[in-house]
Chain A
Amino acid sequence: MLSINLVNTYRIPQTFEYYRPESLREALVLLSTIEGAKVVAGGTDLLVDLKFRRVTPRALIDITGIGELRSIGVGDGYVEIGSAVTIQELVESEVVGRHLPLLAEAAELLGSWQIRNLATVGGNLCNASPAADTAPPLLAYDAEVELVSLGGSRRIPLERFFAGPKKTVLERGEVLRSIRVPLYRRRAGWSFIKIARTSFDLAKVSAAVLLSLEGDTVADVRIALGSVAPTPVRARAAEESLTGTGFEEAVALAPELVAREIAPIDDVRSTAWYRLEVAKTIVKDAMRRAYERFLRVGAAP
């Protein structure tokens, strides 16, 4: 049982060392040499955990002072987002708005303006909440994450980055450097829908859809969901079944197909039953909204 006398949300009830390196290398050295060191970026999740004593790090290594982690760039066929880019920077980024509108839409629904100004995309992913708002759109875009350590770097699909609730495959000494998002080459419609208790909340359930059509047939569809499984998930089997079907048929089939790929649970925010029922609804809604946008994008000059 969480001992209630150990919690203090006014002042963090524990001490630790604090480092704010200016280079990634410096950060990696600190991380590998200090036992019990933890990376902090925006701190919007970590400071809460510190106040509630859910974590007790010996040192915090703040990566927000590292220039290379703070930029958004366009490469050949991809957009690269530094892990310390804030959520609000995503919202305001012209590059993200143009190339990754689904991510921009989700980012705008994350937390409040104050939180978005602090929280980072890397933090949102590394915290590994099943409800992380940036995860479903990034999964839908087939994003990859670049993990670096003193020993080198590796790039893995975001889908394999999450290992369970609050768990990732990050190893000791490893830092999430950037998220590489391949450009979606087709003409696409998109939609992110989030259901929550109030407009400022973690998702009870969320869904991201990318949709491309040929005529009225689904040429490609990507569906990702949040808060309905131990990690944010892609509904790959559903996507496969829906590809090649007529749009209306796809909308009719999608709910049940998606339902087979998720395993929601009861928690303080919602129940498994509700999550399942509403996931089915918002997948449908997101597909319709993506469809409307697809048509509008096509109509644009």
Chain B
Amino acid sequence: MRVSFRLNGSVVEVDVEPHETLLNVLRDRLKIKSVKYGCGIGECGACTVILDGRPVTSCLVLAAKVGGSEVLTPDYVARTELGRRIVDAMLEEGAIQCGYCTPGFLTTIYAAIIRGVRDADSMRRALLGNLCRCTGYVNIMKAVKRLLEDVR
């Protein structure tokens, strides 16, 4: 079936199978590899994208469903002004290690700030669905705090 949606600011039209997830279509048809596969069942957050302003795990969204929606992916988010500031804060604090989970973190943090999250505790709760095995989240939270001070 043919699905049309706004992807990172431009309209795309793509043929999808009913059983394909948004993750599949972004990665395999549209070649957007910034959306990572980590578990496929919504547990790790590596495939986080922003769907109509809200972060979701794209592995649990049928692609057929996103017709008419707006999707933002980490590669796009990283190039926005806010995204760049998030990445800079992460770099400054050593929050990036292997980097496989990082695009997901970036995307969730971006969505949280856009939706008005301004304190560290709320941000921690917002980041609950992004798993990281490398950092113990300490430097990620340092980066978040640095960023929140900056945003406030």
- Chain A interfacial positions (CB closer than 8 Å to B): 9-12, 14-18, 20, 40, 42-44, 47-48, 50-51, 60, 62, 64, 88, 108, 111-115, 117-118, 199-200
Q: Which residues of B sit under 8 angstroms from A17, Cβ to Cβ?
A: 18
Selecting from B59-67, B83-91, B138-146, the interface stretch reads B59-67
- Docked-complex contact B56 and A118, CB < 8 angstroms: yes
CB distance from A113 to the nearest CB of B (A): 5
- Docked-complex contact B65 and A64, CB < 8 angstroms: yes
**How far is B43's CA from A47's CA once the two chains are assembled, in angstroms?**
13
**How far is B43's CA from A51's CA once the two chains are assembled, in angstroms?**
14
- Docked-complex contact A47 and B60, CB < 8 angstroms: yes
The 0/1 profile, CB within 8 Å of A marked 1, for residues 46-90 of chain B is 001001001111011110110100000000000000000000000
Q: Tell me whether B11 is interfacial, beta carbon within 8 Å.
A: no
Given A9-B40, A51-B40, A113-B55: A15 touches B19 (CB 8 Å cut-off): yes
- Docked-complex contact B20 and A111, CB < 8 angstroms: no
- Docked-complex contact A60 and B24, CB < 8 angstroms: no
- Chain B interfacial positions (CB closer than 8 Å to A): 1, 17-21, 24, 37, 39-43, 45, 48, 51, 54-57, 59-62, 64-65, 67, 108, 112, 125-126, 128-130
CB distance from B130 to the nearest CB of A (A): 8
- Docked-complex contact A114 and B19, CB < 8 angstroms: no
**How far is B51's CA from A250's CA once the two chains are assembled, in angstroms?**
47
Given contacts A17-B18, A117-B55, 5 further A-B contacts (CB under 8 A): A9-B40, A48-B41, A60-B18, A114-B42, A118-B60
Within 8 Å by CB of B57, from A51, A62, A114, lies A114
